Amino acid sequence: MNINIYYGGRGIIEDPTLYVLKTIENVLDELHVKFQRYNLYELKNTITTLPQTLKDADGIILAASVEWLGIGGYLQQFLDACWLYGDKNKIAGLYMCPVVISTTYGEKDANLILTNAWELLGGKLCDGICAYVEDSIDFEGNEDYRALIEGKAENLYRVISKKKTAFPSSSMSIRQNYIKSGLELTPQEGEQLSKYVSDDIYVKKQKEDIEELASFFKDILNKQSSTEDELISAFKEHFHGQPGFSSSYAFYVEDKDMDIAVRVSGSDITVSYEKISAPDISMRLKDSVLEEITSGRSSFQKAFMTGEMTTKGNFNTMRMLDRLFEF
């Protein structure tokens, strides 16, 4: 039988949780049970990889020291890692004994957090230890308390060795039917991902890559927006209104899947990126052809004659483009 102990306190000498764990370890040693304690404060940089240590365990002890509120950050990180990267099939067969010792207030709330979390992970529960300690010296010197702790340790041994069946819990139903994990990972994928997450250099490199990609796409969007603004400006700046002439032109730029609407009325002009339902004349061309025209290296009529631009509508209205816009 193998039992893993995960201690979520800070490791200070006067922490009564350490005394409780030491007493439990003495009982397990007498029962010839193999056990391994993981002090999370010493392993804070690799907590995400610790669900891998559950593989060879038959049961675990989650030990929380409540110094002001809750189970503490290290133990919460471990439970988060079990949810994200742990082998749920393995966890489903693991018994968990909570050990919650408070020196202030809230031991029952912390105990409830541990039991609820383990049930949601799919694991099994054993009766644990939940106590308030006002004076650690008096607590450690009390033989009745020692006997209670030893009794809980022996009960943990009996439950695991006999694999006692527990009544079903609603938490299991919620987990199966309603709570959906964002990533469906195999145990091997979860183990590999947990290693990546614990690698500070890898995480830092990933963040840098994400920032670089974000900057790259931002530049592209800014450049595209700038190009479009320059196109509208080009039409407006090179417009020469013709008295008494009004028309609407629809340009469709194929390779950009972009519609440009140009409306002229005498000396007034409006240019926008939209699709006109019934333009006087519609034209279809590529972005490179439009760029040649607006830069003055070609003309609308030349593009039409060479087949680089196709038109639909009155030819005379199309011919007016080179008079309206002198690029």
Sequence ranges of the domains in the chain: 2-198, 233-324
Contacts 24+ apart (CB under 8 A), 253-256: 253/285, 253/286, 253/287, 253/290, 254/284, 254/285, 254/286, 254/287, 255/286, 255/287, 255/288, 256/287
Name the DSSP class of 46: S
pLDDT value for 40:
97
pLDDT value for 224:
52
pLDDT value for 194:
67
pLDDT value for 212:
79
What CA–CA distance (Å, rounded) separates 20 from 284? 81
pLDDT value for 163:
86
pLDDT value for 69:
87
Q: In what order do the strands lie in the sheet with 246-253?
A: 268-272, 258-265, 246-253, 281-285, 310-313
pLDDT value for 49:
92
pLDDT value for 195:
66
pLDDT value for 231:
83
Q: Parallel, antiparallel, or unpaired for β 246-253 and 258-265?
A: antiparallel
What is the third-level CATH fold of 233-324?
A: Nonspecific Lipid-transfer Protein; Chain A (3.30.1050)
Q: Which amino acid is at 322?
A: D
Architecture of domain 2-198: 3-Layer(aba) Sandwich (3.40)
Kindly report the length of the chain: 327
What CA–CA distance (Å, rounded) separates 99 from 17? 8
- Full pLDDT tens readout for the chain, 327 residues: 999 999 999 999 899 999 999 999 999 999 999 999 999 999 999 999 999 999 999 999 999 999 998 999 999 999 999 999 999 899 999 999 999 999 999 999 999 999 999 999 999 999 999 999 999 999 999 999 999 999 999 999 999 998 887 777 776 666 555 544 445 666 666 666 666 666 666 667 777 778 877 777 766 665 554 455 788 888 999 999 999 999 999 999 999 899 999 999 999 999 999 998 889 999 999 999 999 999 999 999 999 999 999 999 888 888 899 999 998
What CA–CA distance (Å, rounded) separates 170 from 124? 13
